[in-house]
Chain A
């Protein structure tokens, strides 16, 4: 059995008799898609059919950290509510537990290592980036915490709606076991694998025959990341400017009020117009808050682009390891041939020294041949294994990439629509305010 299929089967074990979670069943249900809050969430997974997941609250805590220093951090309340309860009308207390951001990171790292062939949903940003001046870059700022809460909930829903990830045991216990979860994760030994993987990925290696599809996907990931970064940067600057435009109009409110004090007939009209200018200036806060939501949607895909690139990179590594194994096998076979026929085609230190110091004895040669034969046997097994791994990886990855593509196209289109609707609302509000002001002016 190949590594990948083993992993998938393991994770799909029925570990809770209440749930019959099967990755295959989930894949069949892929057609069932519902639109929830503009995101395509595959309600088809067994997990989501049974449970409603949410990140309901955020709270500040203080405690001692690893170096025994006092620190303040935020914890988030994860709630799991059985789906049936809502429809039955009963409202039982949901299962809930508190988790902090670092635990979410741990979960994600585990998923990344365990499912290298899947595009793992991203977490909301660790630090506030692409902020415009009024938005705080402070992690403790209540607005940031609120947006993070929403982002974490989104992350959990994405995982819960993924046909494969939703069946993961560690994920499930993340949602259900407050204490001891960390230990459970470390017990899987994923850390060691993570470290070795990381090391390998950071090294530079060149694949001889790169898979064209993955190369294109990686390139797409690069471009997507670059363009969304640019989009977010310019948007933040534009938001700053727009804020300025609206707020300065508030000054009209003040001066009209002062001016109306020295006028007789014009006074009333000016005064009321001034109030509308104040309202206009104040309206920008809501407008920009809504736009922040759009920025968060874009950010999710900025980070998704990174996840996509990671899959491509891991595939490259897999292929590289296959190539290395094949190369090694070829060289061993060549050595055997040379030894058997007595010809030296390849340069080797052994060859030179034997030339210099005389040939080996037949017994030595026999021993060497035998060793080589064993190595070749093992090598062939390794190549077979790696080849199958590679094939499985490609197959699973490509299924998930296709799924991701559809999700991305749908979600981003939705995001653009809601952006357009936001702009429409802003224009309508603007027209209304200026019409109100115009009416006041006409009464001057």
Chain B
């Protein structure tokens, strides 16, 4: 899946400066359509095999493909978050995650690292990144999933959802051409013990003063362009909200349909109990309805557990981009901020496009899989019924 030779800088001759990509912005993706099923395997009925196993893939958060335009060879830093474990001490109970790194970058002493980090550490990292890279959009952390008292912080589901989100966070940072070289990120990935008071003094001082400025400038520096971005984000958020509501409504209707199906199947079974010739056909129908019920249940669960969280996470991401601030500026920094922000914006746009392509394709796949399961059940019943029929015809 190669994009060919990286695009060289466009000349500024015919285009305005605004249309030219920032040298650090993501290149146009040349992904094949149907990237969700890139094994090339095809089922007899013509649909491609989705390699994702139910356990991992249904999670689109896991398979986020950022910057797929770079082929595997130019990617030199791979990060994953895995293996959550509970730690119980006298003071507290908490969860740690294993953060695994594989890299060929010279900035790292070793090619591989494996460290354990807890949520606090991720939070620290994010704050450090915001301080030290004020001109860039920092990906959000999944903090808002926690509602203490309502959600069990140690339940498998919650921990898994959080793990996926943390994994996504690190991957976004790792794929960012500037953020990934940040020394705090390096420390996060490699240090045995994160001494969180550690930090380059210089940057900290500057960070303090810059912090207040960046908030406003993320969307205020160049009014026209960034106002447009702000408007877009508002509308986009609105649409996401609508889609969320629709998805929830569908899940609700499907659940209610499922309830009826669970009563419907057994009716055929109880009918078969006082029939002779019709016993097998009726049992067969009952079985099919039961299979369809299970398939529907899976579809509803998948949509609930995978589709909705990803959608919502996007809305959070956007909120993190719209930090309001009224603090005034250092005018001479504006141009520098703008270029970085524009570059990040373009990256964000591209990632968004890929993410949603994947999300929606995933939704389509789930529905296709659901119908395929039902189809298989009914198709296997028909010859059974028709065989008996022929036999019956012969004896009469």
- Interface residues of chain A, those whose CB is within 8 Å of chain B, are 31, 33, 220, 223-224, 227-228, 230-231, 234-235, 237-238, 241-242, 244-245, 248-249, 251-252, 255, 258-259, 262, 265-266, 269, 273, 406, 409-410, 412-414, 416-417, 419-421, 423-424, 427-428, 430-431, 434-435, 437-439, 441-444
Contact = CB atoms under 8 A, between A and B. Distances in A.
Contacts of B270: 227
Given A248-B249, A419-B285, A409 B277 contact: yes
Contacts of B45: 431
A231 B286 CA distance: 11
9 contacts: A241-B256, A241-B260, A258-B242, A413-B278, A424-B375, A428-B371, A438-B365, A444-B353, A444-B356
Given A244-B253, A435-B368, A428 B375 contact: yes
B305 to A, nearest CB: 19
B78 interface: no
A234 B267 CA distance: 9
A430 B367 CA distance: 8
A235 B271 CA distance: 15
Contacts of B141: none
B350 to A, nearest CB: 9
A238 B382 contact: no
Contacts of A442: 33-36, 357, 361
Nearest to A237: B260
B206 interface: no
Contact of A434 (B281, B364, B396): B364
A230 B260 contact: no
A227 B285 CA distance: 15
Given A220-B274, A442-B357, A437 B364 contact: yes
Contacts of B361: 438, 441-442
Interface string B48-70: 00000000000000000000000
A159 to B, nearest CB: 22
A423 B292 CA distance: 10
A419 B286 CA distance: 12
A443 B257 contact: no
Interface in B364-393: 364-365, 367-368, 370-372, 374-375, 378-379, 381-382, 385-386, 388-389, 392
Interface in B269-306: 270-271, 274, 277-278, 281-282, 284-285, 288, 292
B364 A245 contact: no
A157 B207 CA distance: 90
Given A244-B257, A252-B243, A258-B239, A234 B264 contact: yes
Given A223-B274, A266-B356, A424 B264 contact: no
Contacts of B285: 416, 419-420
Nearest to A277: B246
Interface residues of B, number: 61
Contacts of A431: 45, 47, 368, 371-372, 375
B250 interface: yes
Nearest to B261: A238
Contacts of B364: 434-435, 437-438, 441
Task: Indicate the member of B243, B274, B367, B374 with the most A CB atoms within 10 Å.
Answer: B367
B253 A245 contact: yes
B388 A413 contact: yes
B64 to A, nearest CB: 16
Closest 7 CB pairs of A and B: A442-B33, A241-B257, A438-B364, A427-B375, A238-B260, A430-B371, A244-B253
Contact of A406 (B232, B259, B389, B396): B396
Contacts of B357: 266, 269, 441-442, 444
A413 B389 contact: yes
Nearest to B46: A435
Contacts of B124: none
Interface SS, B side: helix
Given A251-B249, A417-B386, A420-B381, 11 more contacts: A220-B274, A238-B261, A248-B246, A259-B236, A424-B375, A427-B371, A434-B364, A435-B47, A435-B368, A438-B365, A439-B33
B268 interface: yes
B20 interface: no
Contacts of A266: 353, 356-357
B260 A424 contact: no
Contacts of B256: 241, 244
Contacts of A33: 396
Contacts of B30: none
Contact of B33 (A423, A427, A443): A443
Interface of B: 33-36, 45, 47, 232, 235-236, 239, 242-243, 246, 249-250, 253-254, 256-257, 259-261, 263-264, 267-268, 270-271, 274, 277-278, 281-282, 284-285, 288, 292, 353, 356-357, 360-361, 364-365, 367-368, 370-372, 374-375, 378-379, 381-382, 385-386, 388-389, 392, 396
Task: Indicate the member of B35, B360, B386 with the most A CB atoms within 10 Å.
Answer: B360
B378 A420 contact: yes
A344 B282 CA distance: 63
Contacts of A410: 392
A249 B292 CA distance: 19
B70 to A, nearest CB: 19
A33 B395 CA distance: 13
A237 B258 CA distance: 11
A396 to B, nearest CB: 21
A152 to B, nearest CB: 27
Contacts of A437: 360, 364
Contacts of A262: 232, 235-236, 239
Contacts of A435: 47, 364, 368
Nearest to A431: B371
Nearest to A436: B364
Given A227-B270, A255-B243, A424 B378 contact: yes
B250 A248 contact: yes
B355 to A, nearest CB: 10
Nearest to B361: A441
B278 A412 contact: yes
B308 to A, nearest CB: 14
Nearest to A223: B274
A434 B372 CA distance: 11
A409 B277 CA distance: 7
A206 B260 CA distance: 41
A234 B239 contact: no
Contact of B246 (A251, A409, A417): A251
Task: Indicate the member of B271, B288, B365 with the most A CB atoms within 10 Å.
Answer: B271
B371 A273 contact: no
Nearest to B353: A266
A258 to B, nearest CB: 6
B382 A265 contact: no
A315 B179 CA distance: 91
Contacts of A273: 360
Nearest to A409: B277
A231 B275 CA distance: 15
Contact of B267 (A227, A255, A438, A443): A227
A252 B292 CA distance: 24
Nearest to B264: A234
Nearest to B45: A431
Contacts of A228: 271
Contacts of B36: 442
Contacts of A248: 246, 249-250, 253
